Structure 1
Amino acid sequence: MPSNASPELRHLRYFLAVARLQHVTRAADALHVTQSTLSHQLRQLEELLGVELFDRVGRGVQLTEAGRTFQTYATRALLEVEDGATAVRELGSLLRGNLRVGVIHTYNATLLPPALARFINAHPGVHVVVEDLPALAIEQDIADGRLDLGIAFAPAGHPDIVAEPLFEEALILAVPPRHPAAPRSHIPAEELSGLRLALQTTRFSSRRRIDESLGSWLKGAIHLEMSSIDAMLKTLSLNGMGAVLFERAVPAGADFARVRITQPEVSRTAALLWNAQRTRSAAARRLAEAIHMECRPATHT
């Protein structure tokens, strides 16, 4: 029978950690508590609710139907408490606090550093954690409350995420100076099929966008796939191949020609990502303002 007592915040935190990791030992390590303490708290929560929240599967655990239902409410309740605590702390000023940011690699290497430096100089008491993540992971972590702000793309694919557009960037062919296409200002997509090309791997949303738009012209032309754009550009500077990338992926000082791809032209929209259900912290708003200041059009050569 369920108890008349209500779950406490520690119950919610412990339950959500196990639900996310699907493993009691790993969750205990992440929470910095012993496995026996965590197991006891989970049993106590189940007794309070009068239901089983987890099924054991091998060495891990999975949520029961009751657990999945409770997860939605537990997440919402914990976020509300955290937002309330943040709002109270920020009644004074940004003398202290924490800010968690998720950003795709391209913008982490180009857009974020000057904005982040300006923010840190203005608010040295705020502890900032920046995670370099794929776009889908950023959206999920914001929805789950693990990140306060994201920098990825619009439109957002997650129903709980609001995307605030920053700028548009075009798809280009990036080539070393000695490449035959280097002197050109643009190249029709159909001509890509005759080149030797490098692209990011398919785990990235940018690659999936490229495949959706130019897949018919890229078949047979892709000879190299790499997850790291930095490593890709270093490789291409030595072997003379070209890469299909969005323009801000190529650093401003890189010795590469940027040839705009046309017929069709393909672009993506960079955006700040917010949790639609949460209060935006003062620290996140200030960093967002600094990021907007950096959103000038990319330089073309």
Structure 2
Amino acid sequence: MELRQFKYLLSIAEEGTFTAAADKLYISQSALSQQVKKMEQELGVPLFDRSGNRLQFTEAGRLLHQRAKYIVKEVEKTKTAIDELEKLYRGSLTIGVVQTVNAYLMPRVVSLFSSRFPQITIKVKELSAPQLEEQLYHHELDLGISFKPEAYPRLVFEDLFKEELILIVNKEHPLAGESELRINKLDEQKLILLPEEYCTRRIWERCVEKSDIYPKVQIEMNTIAALLTAVQTNSSAGTVLPALTMEMEAAKNLIPVKLHKPTPCRTVGILWRNGKYQSSASEKFSEIIRDTYGNLNS
């Protein structure tokens, strides 16, 4: 049976006659009668007692009428819910973000999105790049903010901006007076870094290897806030982190030093599953990220 047949049944019950119901539905009486006969043939029972002037339901007809009212109502509620999702009146969005990006990028973007679409619930999961790729691939995330995928190359990656890694030190550090340094000047320098499973650390290690230097990793800590706090009180060791880290409150009063020859650099972008339908919420969130950070390199 079709939804329109259920609606026909409801109209007949409300109007009492095929003629009145057909007029209300803007179809011919014969077309309406034909649809009722199709339902009766499909079910194998009569739905109406046609012996009187006003149509009366049979027992089977009353049962189908009750179910038809429920079905039509649920369909209309579902249509309304879908319409509200598309208009961003309701819904949820689950986003995976690598830690070194989450620390400085997401608070601003999430705040902007929530102010514009307060009915959408946002869930932000801080993950390593491999974890993010895996969860996105297995439909556990709607979007990812990370780097070019390695484990799941079929994920779609859209560049947002390229970001240099910089040396960050406190005001008492011997290199605090430098605005820019060659990488080889950090030979045997003490550093406080993220562990090796982090992409930021791996990028740095590649530069170290290329430059044939041997900095001393004095401390490893697995959050950016902890690294910056440690640098605040350590005048002999600095850290190497993305340049936008300097926007964080924890970086207040610290000194950024640019690095070059080679310049450690990474590309941050949006990740999603290839061919996956993008909800209106996902599209709007992506737009806000592009508007906020997409022109950093222009």
TM-score bracket for the superposition, by shorter chain length: 0.5 to 0.7
| Equivalence map 1:47-196=2 (5 Å) | 89-90=82-83, 92-154=86-148, 157-196=151-190
- In structure 2, the gaps of 5 or more residues are 1-77
Figure out how many residues of one structure are paired with residues of the other and give that number: 213
The structure having more radius of gyration, on CA atoms, is: 2
SS of 1:201's partner is coil
**Structure 1 residues 157, 132: CA separation in 2 closer, same or farther (over 3 Å shift)?**
same
* Alpha-carbon offset, residue 178 of structure 1: 1.5
| TM superposition score normalised by structure 1 | 0.65
Note the alpha carbon deviations across 1:94-131, whole angstroms, 9 max, x for none: 11112110011232221111221121122222121110
Question: What is the match of residue 225 of structure 2?
Answer: 230
Identity of aligned residues (%): 30
Distance of aligned partners of 1:95 and 1:218 in 2 relative to their CA distance in 1, 3 Å threshold:
farther
Native 8 Å contact 1:163 1:274 kept in 2: yes
Distance in 2 of aligned mates of 1:136 and 1:130:
16
2:245 corresponding residue in structure 1: 249
Within 5 Å, give how 1:10-29 maps onto structure 2.
Answer: none
For 2:86 and 2:215, locate their aligned partners in 1 and report how far apart those are by CA, in whole Å: 60
Distance 1:124 1:218 in 2: 50
Separation in 2, partners of 1:245, 1:109: 11
Listed one character per residue, the Cα deviations across residues 189-221 of structure 1 (whole Å, up to 9, x for unaligned) are: 111113111110012122112112223655352
Would the aligned equivalents of 1:111 and 1:294 in 2 still touch at CA under 8 Å?
no
Deviations 1:209-264 (A, max 9, x none): 21122236553521111111111111111121111222123335522111111111
SS at match of 1:154: coil
Matched, 1:221 2:219: no
Which residue of structure 1 aligns with residue 192 of structure 2?
198
Given that 2:208 and 2:214 are in contact with CA atoms closer than 8 Å, whether structure 1 keeps it comes out as no
Tell me which amino acid in the other structure corresponds to 1:239: N
- RMSD over aligned Cα atoms: 2.2
